[in-house]
Structure 1
């Protein structure tokens, strides 16, 4: 229902417009208070790069963060990552992740980023505290924030917005009548726009999510995903249909597709009931982070990596690396 409203295929969104106007008024006042200096943002002693979005859910932001961290590491930088840690319930904040940190504590996306990159990751609802924890915990020379475009209490040196190239901005309205956290005009003030799939528009950096090999959650065996048979596909991400479409592009026609809410908490009985004997349960890497410790032999996940045109991505990285000299 909500997807239909937000996509513009239904005019019923007009019933929610008064709430959207209120949301827009509040968010604009918050941003204006920092732009005009009425409220002061905290500035870190190292450059801060925001990777965020204008709409809610499922734009491909986390793969961009992973790519950016790994690319900066390859250039000799020491990036750290901060996150709100949505869905996590730590007993204290800020929380510095380690090998024993669970998704129940830190949230699924920070744990995924930590496991994929090995970079220091700190979680806190107050981004300033997360950055301070990173700086006190090690030698960090640049901070990447996973989300936080609208968290203006943290000063930033570079803003990247990730756009879903197929859904774009739906009907263009603020929440709850539409999917927007901020209006499209905000793109004029950011430093880079990355478009995930679809057709990138002028000035946007096109991105594709490239699947790797399927990985067994229990044994870590890797194999081509199209060799899996009798697949039950599941996804608890912002936009599950993207994962199912990816599987079909890889030659997989699932016998069943199961969608969960983003940041869904899983239990062993819940997932075990999805794929009985003779079937394979195939999930996203984000789901696997939460299910690995109670996985069955027939559970697999499919990692994806962000891929960009070489020249354009190198130019973006050059601009970010240059922040250290300023």
Structure 2
């Protein structure tokens, strides 16, 4: 997603106004689709387990994946068995498949692979999340809750709890795609609202983002960030907002000599090594599995997202009400 259009989505300027008629068409089609599910022309299907959807109404990364990881860890710490389903955006395969030890980003998508590695929870990807959910339950009948990473607008999968995630953009200029960033109009009914940024645009629960104290290499060996002082550092990020990663590294005292912002889900097939030029390369966890085949010495720096305690209290109460 180009930075120019993202900037245009923050205000109702000339570009946004030019695209506004298309937004009206988009909104009409989306409304008709929601109506079709409401009256039964299209059916939402249940997966055999309660479902929590972690999604958003704004295009681009708002922090859904870190939120899904945080929730999975929280529920597992409470003794609740969870599994995750996802579309697996950016993968080259089309089938419904479970992520296994040897799965690659091209097979399953970078974000689902990160969720599996970060939590150890079973993760299944499919274009139709209901197919993923059914395979998940078939292979892991102990699962008590299914987390759907993204899919707020994927109404074919019936859900019991909806969590809408926002970053500091809020709703941007408030218009629907393509004149604005919204996939659907806001406000809309949902169970919980969580802000992943530092400056929420409106009411909701908050969380704190921070880089881990340690980076790690492709073999899983930790390297303290403090040990990187004095090295020539370069940072690369193929995420929705690369500058946010670079800024967080700088705030941790990393003197970045070079930064390489790339499009979200970049596959690094055209990567030119920076290690050969004497750089220690830092990347996001999401990018690491795709970058390591081309830059084996790169270090992944985890992002830790911690929702406030009040959010988990509200989430636990909501899930308990569904469990009965």
Q: TM-score range by the shorter chain?
A: over 0.9
Query: Is residue 320 from structure 1 mapped to residue 322 from structure 2 by the alignment?
Result: no
- The count of corresponding residues between Structure 1 and Structure 2 is 318
Within the alignment, does 1:300 sit opposite 2:299 as a pair? yes
Determine the structure 2 residue equivalent to 1:53.
Answer: 56
Q: TM-score, normalized by length of structure 2?
A: 0.92
2: CA distance between counterparts of 1:76 and 1:83?
Answer: 22
Query: Structure 2: how far apart are the matches of 1:259 and 1:223?
Result: 23
Structure 2 residue matching 1:270: 3-state secondary structure: coil
Residue of structure 2 in register with 1:159 after alignment: 162
Tell me the TM-score normalised to structure 1 length.
0.92
* TM-superposition CA deviations, 1:254-295 (whole Å, max 9, x none): 11111111111113x6141x3434311111000002223454
Point out the more displaced range, 77-86 or 236-245.
Answer: 236-245
Alignment-derived partner of residue 102 in structure 2: 100
Structure 1 partner of 2:276: 276
Q: How far does residue 124 in structure 1 lie from its aligned partner after superposition?
A: 0.4
Q: For residues 224 and 27 of structure 1, do their structure 2 counterparts lie closer, same or farther at Cα, with a shift above 3 Å needed?
A: same
Choose from 213, 222, 232 the match for 1:230.
232
SS of residue in 1 equivalent to 2:85: strand
Structure-2 residue corresponding to 1:252? 254
CA deviation profile, 1:283-324 (whole Å, cap 9, x unmatched): 100000222345422x11110111122233233233224422
Deviation at 1:243, TM superposition (A): 0.8
Q: Secondary structure at the match of 1:255?
A: strand
In the alignment, which residue of structure 2 is the partner of 1:177?
A: 179
After the TM superposition, which residues 1-326 of structure 1 pair with which residues of structure 2 at under 5 Å, given as runs? 1-8=4-11, 10-90=13-93, 93-138=95-140, 139-164=142-167, 166-186=168-188, 189-200=189-200, 203-228=203-228, 229-267=231-269, 270-272=271-273, 274-297=274-297, 299-325=298-324
> Is there any run of 5+ residues in structure 1 with no aligned partner, and where?
none
Task: Call closer, same or farther: CA 1:275–1:294 in 2, change over 3 Å.
Answer: closer
Q: Deviations over 1:2-45 (max 9, x none)?
A: 12211117422111111111111111111122123332210122
Other structure's SS at 1:281 match: strand
SS in 2 for 1:49: strand
For 1:210 and 1:323, locate their aligned partners in 2 and report how far apart those are by CA, in whole Å.
32
Which runs of 4 or more aligned residues in structure 1 lie more than 4 Å from their structure 2 counterparts after TM superposition?
none
* 8 Å Cα contact 1:46-1:324 kept in structure 2: no
Give the RMSD, CA atoms, in angstroms: 1.8
Task: Say whether the 8 Å CA contact 2:216–2:301 is kept in structure 1.
Answer: no
